[in-house]
Structures are given as structure tokens and as C-alpha cells.
Amino acid sequence: MTTAADLLSKSAAAMAESVRGGAVSATALAQAAFARIEATDARINAFTARTEQRALQRAADIDAKLAAGGEAAQALRALPLLGVPFAVKNLFDIEGLTTLAGSKIEREHPPARRDAVLVQRLEAAGAVLAGALNMDEYAYGFTTENSHVGPARNPHDTSRIAGGSSGGSGAAVAAGQVPLTLGSDTNGSIRVPASLCGVFGLKPTFGRLPRTGSYPFVSSLDHLGPFARSVRDLALAYDAMQGPEAGPIRDPGCLQRAPEPVAPLLQDGLHGLRIGVLGGFFRARATPEALAVVDRVAAALGAGEAVELPMVQAGRAAAFLITNSEGAALHLPDLRTRAADFEPLSRDRFLAGTLLPAAWIARAQRVRRLYAEGVARVFERFDVLLAPATPCAATPIGAETFEIGGQQLPVRPNMGVLTQPISCIGLPVCAVPVWGGSEERPAPLPIGVQVIAAPWREDLVLRVAAALEAAGVAHAPVAEPGAPT
Amino acid sequence: MTRMTPGQIEAFVDASAAALDLQLQPEHREGVLRYFALAADMAALLDAVPLDPHVEPALNFVPVPPGKHRP
């Protein structure tokens, strides 16, 4: 008999199926998740708040309604994420908790009065919120070395970073604490931790999912999306979160499109897809290990053609400047009066960002448009493009530099160098976890590959990710985190 | 665009900080100058891109009807 604890290492879809069929209760599943969090989080530091009381109450409600039978039970059984525990980066509003966005400063603010829209939508799909997750302060970082609460640790090697800024979101899924989390991605903050923690991550098209009730970093570039250990789980969560907002307050950056469900399309396979491999910029900034995993994925997909993105360096520069300026301007009042309370690892970047000439930023937004038009032409010849998600596997916590292409570069701004040019123009991406490098260069840690498509084609990136998962090229095992070495 | 010299960066940072009433602490100053120089390098990359006046910024304003505003 499968116990709730056994189920925790399975997919969210399997958990929902077990609750639906009565093999396990939602309560037992929630209890198992909190037991796993309790047993592992001292080593991982993924959670910054646990919503145990709320989760157990909600799970008990689900169990009571299922037991009562009738139409209500039937309606519940139709929910795709019934009883599935999930957690969210601590920039999502959770009713009754203060939204920290990784900061010390926000601790002084009152609790949120309602849940973020995406939290509401996952719960409407049957999921059970288990808590809030560690992140880089105000999402400005790629390592989740949060000085206020300590670093999120990589469950596959706890001496190494989980990536960021949604580090807790990647780590909680990799550690088997919950099968599903939400994060945000402005320049790579879903794809980088997915890559380093060895899980699947989806950054949808810019403007697809509403951000209402989440703490902004850079409104011009912010995306929200899910992490999971299977492509099907990503698709179920993503489908549950799509659709226009009903309330009077809407995210002006969301295009409020009708849902375009992808879960029914996952098995459509690769037939007819034209797949290219990004070269130039994307190979020059990757280690041999990262290139080896991309080449393995390309070989599995029969993709041989190298593709250069036009203007990619200018595109990355545009994202850098827009982020630096817009992100910093948001915090100018606090930077004026209490700079010492900011994260020391990103404070000076924020301070510098307040000072950038307006003409640089106006130009960056126009270059971004021109770059997007150039890349749109590339997608007239290709359906899907591949690139490493990170230049290398997870680096040790505290590492200042790493070597790429013979150059020593600072880790913190460069871990997202391969993701930043893609989110700059809002393309949908699934980061798929690949292990083992190549026969010549075996690697014990995962590196993600970005599967990239034209805007609004999340179906294509998830179809390709599903094919890679089915072929055994990409997979996301649960880690048994040891003590830091 | 001519690259800013370290002296120009320092002068610009000090003048802009004063205009914004942002008092840079001595322990933050070195990092701020370093990151400003990095941003200046990025701006130089953008300046090298020819832009005709019809390239629109990648921003869209959404007008706000009555009843659709924040409380």
C-alpha cells in the first residue's frame, strides 16, 4: 500500500489521483509534506513561513466534502490538483502573512489581506498551500544567498547554491518537500534555480499570467510561473493559472488572454517541429559541461542547426539597464533613508540603478523592441530553440567568481547571462533538468536546458520537454539532502 | 558614444545622487561606482545600435476606466 510519505516523492498528478480515488486523504498528504519539511528544511532553508494550520484546515475540508459524497464531492474529484501541497516564493501575497519579498524592510508592513491571484487559482484547482519560500531580496539576484535569513541550499549538494532569485522554489521541489511551487522570473529567476536544482521550470510568455497580489521587481520584465518534477505537473499548474482576471483590480502587464490549455497536447510529440540550437553568445558563455547537456538534448531531438540570435548582446544590455533602473527606482525612498537595511549583496547595485540617465533607459526600451522584431524573424524558420539555462552547474555558496571561456567572472550577475536575453523579449521557456554531462565529462550535478518558443507557444516548449522526459534525457529526481560538506 | 572616464562617472554619480537627495555612505561608494561603470558599458552597447525614430519603446499604457482602479 502506498503511504502519503511514499506519495510525496511522486508527481502532483499521482497525488491528486490518490486523493481522488480515496487511497490517501488530503490531510495525510499535507501532514506528510510538513513532516518532510520538518525533517529536511534545517539543511535546505527553503521555507520562510509554513502555513500548517491553514493547510490542515483546508485538507480537512477537502476530506470532509469527499466523504459526504454528492455533487460537491464529484466536483472536487474533477479538480486537477486535488489535495496537492504547494508553496510560493515569498513575494506572493498570502492572506494573514506579511509579504517579505526576501527583505528585512518589508517585515514592518501589515499582513496581506488576500491571496495573490495565482495562489487563489491553484487552490481553486484543489491544491493546498503549505507556505512561503526563500528568495533573493526583492528578487535582485541569481543565487538566493539571502543575508537576512541565510542561503537556500541546493538539495543535491547542500554546500552549493540553489540558484535564484526563486531559490526556495527550486529547492523545495528538488528536496521532495512539495511537488509544486511558484516563483517569479524577471531575468532568469525561475530558469536558473530550476537548472541548478534539477527540476522543471516554466516561464510563460510575458503578459500571460496575472501578477496581481505579487510584490513587483521590474514591472516591465516580471513573469510568474511554476516549478515541478514532471512536465505534466507543470502543465496542470500552468493550465489552472491561465485566463483573464475577474476582479476589478487587474495586472496592467497581463494581456488577459483566454486560456489555451496545454496538458491535452503534451503527447503530441515532435513531429514537424523545426528545432535549432542557439550558438554564438550562448556557447561562448557556457562551460563545456553546459554545452555537453545542450548537445545531448539536441541529439535526442535530432536538432543540428546552429542559430544566432540577432542583437543578442544589445538585448541583454537592455534587460540589464531596465532592471537596474526600474528595480532601483521602486526602492528609492528606502534607499535614501535606510540603505543599511538592504541586502549587502545587492544594495550597491540598487543604489547605482537609481542614478542611471533617463535616456539610457528610454533607449533600452526601444532596442528591446527592435531585438524582439529580429528574433521574431528567426521564429519564422524555427519552432523551438535550445540553449543552456546556466553557464555551469551550482557553484559553492559564497563563491564570488567562476570561470567561463577562460575568463574569471562574478557569479552573482553572470549566472543569469544565458536567461536574461530570452526573458527580455518575453519568450516562453521550459527549463528541463539534464544530468551527467557527457561520457567524456561526467557531471554529478544537473544543468538545465532552455526550450524556447515564439510568444504564446507554451504548448511547444512543454511538448518538447515532455518528449525529453519520456526519452529519459530530462528528469527530476528527489534529493536526499545531507549536511553541508 | 565616448566611454565615460572614471572621473566622469564619479562626477555624474555625485551630482545625480545630490539631485535625488541620496546620500551615499562611504562604505557603499566603491560598489556604486563599480556598478554604475558596468551600466555605462551596457549603455555603450545600446548606443551602437542604429535606431530610426519609428522604433517604438517596448511599453504599452493601458487606460483606466472608472471602477477599475486600486482602492
Rounded to whole angstroms, the Cα distance separating A448 from A198 reads: 7
The cell for A400 is 564570488
Q: Name the β-bridge partners of A200.
A: A228
Q: Give the model confidence (pLDDT) of A105-162 as tens digits.
A: 999 999 999 999 999 999 999 999 999 999 999 999 999 999 999 999 999 999 999 9
- Evaluate if residue A312 carries a pLDDT over 60: yes
The predicted pLDDT at position A53 comes to 98
Residues of A whose CB is below 8 A from B12: 355
Of residues B45, B47, B51, nearest to A313 (C-beta): B45
The predicted pLDDT at position A439 comes to 59
The cell for A40 is 529536511
Q: Is A10 a catalytic residue?
A: no
Q: Which helix (H) or strand (E) holds A324?
A: helix A312-330
Q: Is A147 a catalytic residue?
A: no
Question: How large is the average pLDDT for residues A372-397?
Answer: 97
Mind giving me the DSSP string for A263-331? GGGGGG-STT--EEEE-THHHHTS-HHHHHHHHHHHHHHT---EE--TTHHHHHHHHHHHHHHHHHHHT
The cell for A119 is 495562489
Q: Give residue A188's identity as a one-letter amino acid code.
A: G
CB contact under 8 A, A355 and B16: yes
Q: Give residue A131's identity as a one-letter amino acid code.
A: G
**Residues of chain B in Cβ contact (below 8 Å) with chain A:** 12-13, 16-17, 20-25, 28, 30-36, 38-39, 42-43, 45-49, 51, 55-59, 62, 67-71
Neighbour tally for A482: CB within 10 Å: 12
Global confidence as pTM = 0.97
Spatial neighbors of B45 by CB under 8 A, at least 6 apart, are A313, A314, A317
CB contact under 8 A, B49 and A360: no
Rounded to whole angstroms, the Cα distance separating A359 from A361 reads: 5
Distance from CA of B7 to the nearest CA of A (A): 16
* pLDDT confidence band for A355 (50 / 70 / 90): very high
- Evaluate if residue A371 carries a pLDDT over 60: yes
**SS3 of residue A95 by DSSP:** strand
Which of the 8 DSSP states describes residue A90?
Answer: T
Q: Give the model confidence (pLDDT) of A30-70 as tens digits.
A: 999 999 999 999 999 999 999 999 999 999 999 999 999 99
The predicted pLDDT at position A49 comes to 98
